[in-house]
Structure 1
């Protein structure tokens, strides 16, 4: 069945204009006024609302085996929740165990993701190094459509990548036309500080942020950026949480280096007071890495997003329920790291960004969809409202309201970091691959309807530099 959206205002990263949008067979096939469409086309009245590209969350961890347990949202429940919030594509992470074949791990994640209700793609983590990893990276890029590789600079004695691995993997990424991404925290410093906290008798969740101060993130971000400079490869820094990391990114960008930064909705809106809450279960529910920071870091992150030094927004969606978090009740280093947010990202960013004047509606679209599509080579198939693009669309009601709560959300977790926040600006309809999957509060997600999306390499890399530069082009607003 085809869909016609009538009476709305199309908003892209660089344009705003009134038009109808017609979708058929999973694609956008026409955009214009008073479109002539088949009588049996399903009609959505978007009067007074915006038509925007479906959200792209470039950082999720569905069904992740981690710290002795498995994330409670699997690829079906997590992507279904995303659809309810207007996110139609996720980029998740394949994380091989040290010594495990990258290809073997990739197939394992593909199997888990086969039940996804929305489209998905993968970054692949480099958790160890030998000649087989070098070869597997080539196979992943050339045969499986992977164009980004993740490097954890934290989690010593587990999945941490040392400097030798970074150098070799960054060089291989450059040769393949792939972009390296980094979780920037100095793993050795974190490990030592964790031992210090425990030796001082600090065993509760308050020890988590104390063992991961901003300086350990800033050092790692700067180190990774400088390694990328020497290797002459673009780099993407995930979940930037503090001024120190932002300053490292800004400095490098001002010097002409191709560096991209991602900020989480949670880091923009939740501050570190949660770790001092008298209820230890509440505090533990907020344990993630990097941790939530003080309000002055939040203010800096907003400025980074406004200035364009941070280009994308994500969630690091990785759910663990109270009984899972309880594994660390006597030792904060054993609390599974992760929080939710894939359902709430667009609404909280609209409410805290657009409604406050921090972001224009075009900048909101860029930060929640288009920039990620450009950086990871999905554009214009994703992240755009254009003829030929995938029919992943959201009809956005700027006056609609919702009070966020774990009792009513669709995420498979018993806690919500935005609990009790009433947001103005919500999706009234979500369309995924031309199918209406969310309509006025009713979710119709279909298990297995999502498809794996290959992302071509940037070959030669200099072709990619032009694409990446477009991310930073000035926003033009057409209010006709």
Structure 2
């Protein structure tokens, strides 16, 4: 058994989907017995940052709740939290209803929702407490995607204070959307339209500035803050500064930022579009910083921001995908697949690569997500009374990741 705090040998009895007993040499009785000798038993992975069937840039992310859950289960993730997007001019309740309909009849693993707020009118503010009754305890605000999802500082601060009053957590996508919009206009005006210019339009300092601003506002509001998909040293520094002042700020990074880099955006032809996401992938030196801060506790979670699109959806007779941006990088749907492979690649490079222990792996991929988002100890650990969301893990198993064998619904 491997948990965030311990490693030990034991037998496990499961009854009705719940861990009923843990001990050595338990009498088997009239039950199905699985001999897991030589393997590890881990809490199932919890991915708290996914976007299934997300409307974006004139299309949808290519995984729905069926294919996304299939991929998650094959990849040792047993729970995830997706983002409900408030419709512009609409209510929070409308958004929740839409996302519940997306999941209806398709779910294969446990799931929950965050609420992404795009339009914080007074009547919407009044809806926030009712989210708790829906099981939603976290709000997300975007500091980027100007004219679409971006909110101003007044809205962000009001959301933070309201969330704090009701014991909720505020999450932010921290990039300076005004700077990004200005740089994008300038680059396109110069004829710089290739995928590699996506990174140029989203500089690390624009992420750092927004992170610092969000941390400061959270400190003023006395509100807990969770900064999603942190990518670079400059933004992590802002988190460290805020925590040194006693602000309750937390951060996550995502798998792509440890393995995919800005040079990949410059691959020949349109290949770089496969790796366009926001914030963009950075430099190898930033990955070194992220690994170090995952190990030392500065970053609490590694998730995926799973938001896949077809590379050539129209060509294959499917919904459009990355090809929407062939003439202009700002039209490329932002996102990458990751839900299926998160656990394996983080174990391989994190544990086998010597960055951290198996216990820290469990903490980053399951226990901390469960604790931060109110799921612990029902999930995120192996304990009597916890859900039996467990993974039988063979640390010696090898497999090759490929588009042909993956269960994620995309073509690369």
TM-score normalised by the chain length of structure 2: 0.97
Aligned mate of 2:385, from 382, 388, 408: 388
Match of 2:318 in 1: none
Q: SS at 1:44's partner residue?
A: coil
Quote the offset at 1:279 in angstroms. Answer: 3.0
Asked if residue 316 in structure 1 is aligned to residue 305 in structure 2, the reply is yes
Match of 1:378 in 2: 375
Match of 2:333 in 1: 336
Quote the offset at 1:129 in angstroms. Answer: 1.3
Match of 1:440 in 2: none
Q: SS at 1:182's partner residue?
A: strand
Alpha-carbon distance in 2 for matches of 1:136, 1:319: 31
Asked if residue 33 in structure 1 is aligned to residue 33 in structure 2, the reply is no
Contact 1:97 1:159 in 2 (8 A): no
Asked if residue 345 in structure 1 is aligned to residue 363 in structure 2, the reply is no
Match of 2:174 in 1: 184
Asked if residue 120 in structure 1 is aligned to residue 117 in structure 2, the reply is no
Match of 2:101 in 1: 111
Asked if residue 131 in structure 1 is aligned to residue 128 in structure 2, the reply is no
Asked if residue 285 in structure 1 is aligned to residue 274 in structure 2, the reply is yes
Match of 1:70 in 2: 60
Q: SS at 2:243's partner residue?
A: helix
Aligned mate of 1:196, from 176, 181, 186: 186
Show CA shifts across 1:242-294 (max 9, x none): 111100011111222111100101111211110111131x2001110011100
Contact 2:378 2:386 in 1 (8 A): yes
Aligned mate of 2:399, from 391, 399, 402: 402
Contact 1:71 1:319 in 2 (8 A): yes
Asked if residue 91 in structure 1 is aligned to residue 88 in structure 2, the reply is no
Quote the offset at 1:43 in angstroms. Answer: 2.1
Contact 2:47 2:339 in 1 (8 A): yes
Contact 2:230 2:236 in 1 (8 A): yes
Show CA shifts across 1:313-364 (max 9, x none): 1000011001310011001101000100100000000010000110100000
Alpha-carbon distance in 2 for matches of 1:191, 1:331: 14
Q: SS at 1:389's partner residue?
A: coil
Asked if residue 150 in structure 1 is aligned to residue 147 in structure 2, the reply is no
Contact 2:260 2:275 in 1 (8 A): no
Quote the offset at 1:44 in angstroms. Answer: 1.9
Quote the offset at 1:132 in angstroms. Answer: 1.4
Show CA shifts across 1:123-175 (max 9, x none): 0011011111111111112x111110001110001011110100111010011
Alpha-carbon distance in 1 for matches of 2:154, 2:34: 54
Show CA shifts across 1:76-131 (max 9, x none): 11011001010000010001122111011101101111211110011001101111
Structure 1, unpaired ranges of 5+: 1-9, 416-480
Higher strand content, 1 or 2: 1
Alpha-carbon distance in 2 for matches of 1:113, 1:135: 26
Asked if residue 50 in structure 1 is aligned to residue 47 in structure 2, the reply is no
Quote the offset at 1:42 in angstroms. Answer: 2.4
Quote the offset at 1:61 in angstroms. Answer: 0.3
Contact 2:175 2:208 in 1 (8 A): yes
What is the number of equivalent residue pairs in this alignment? 403
Alpha-carbon distance in 1 for matches of 2:13, 2:101: 33
Alpha-carbon distance in 1 for matches of 2:327, 2:176: 24
Greater than 6 Å deviation, 4+ residue runs: none
Contact 1:72 1:320 in 2 (8 A): yes
Match of 1:15 in 2: 6
Alpha-carbon distance in 2 for matches of 1:277, 1:57: 29
Contact 1:57 1:91 in 2 (8 A): yes
Quote the offset at 1:37 in angstroms. Answer: 3.4
Contact 1:313 1:367 in 2 (8 A): yes
Alpha-carbon distance in 1 for matches of 2:351, 2:115: 33
Q: SS at 1:97's partner residue?
A: coil
Contact 2:196 2:262 in 1 (8 A): no
Structure 2, unpaired ranges of 5+: 313-320
Match of 1:171 in 2: 161
Asked if residue 267 in structure 1 is aligned to residue 267 in structure 2, the reply is no
Quote the offset at 1:38 in angstroms. Answer: 3.2
Match of 2:285 in 1: 296
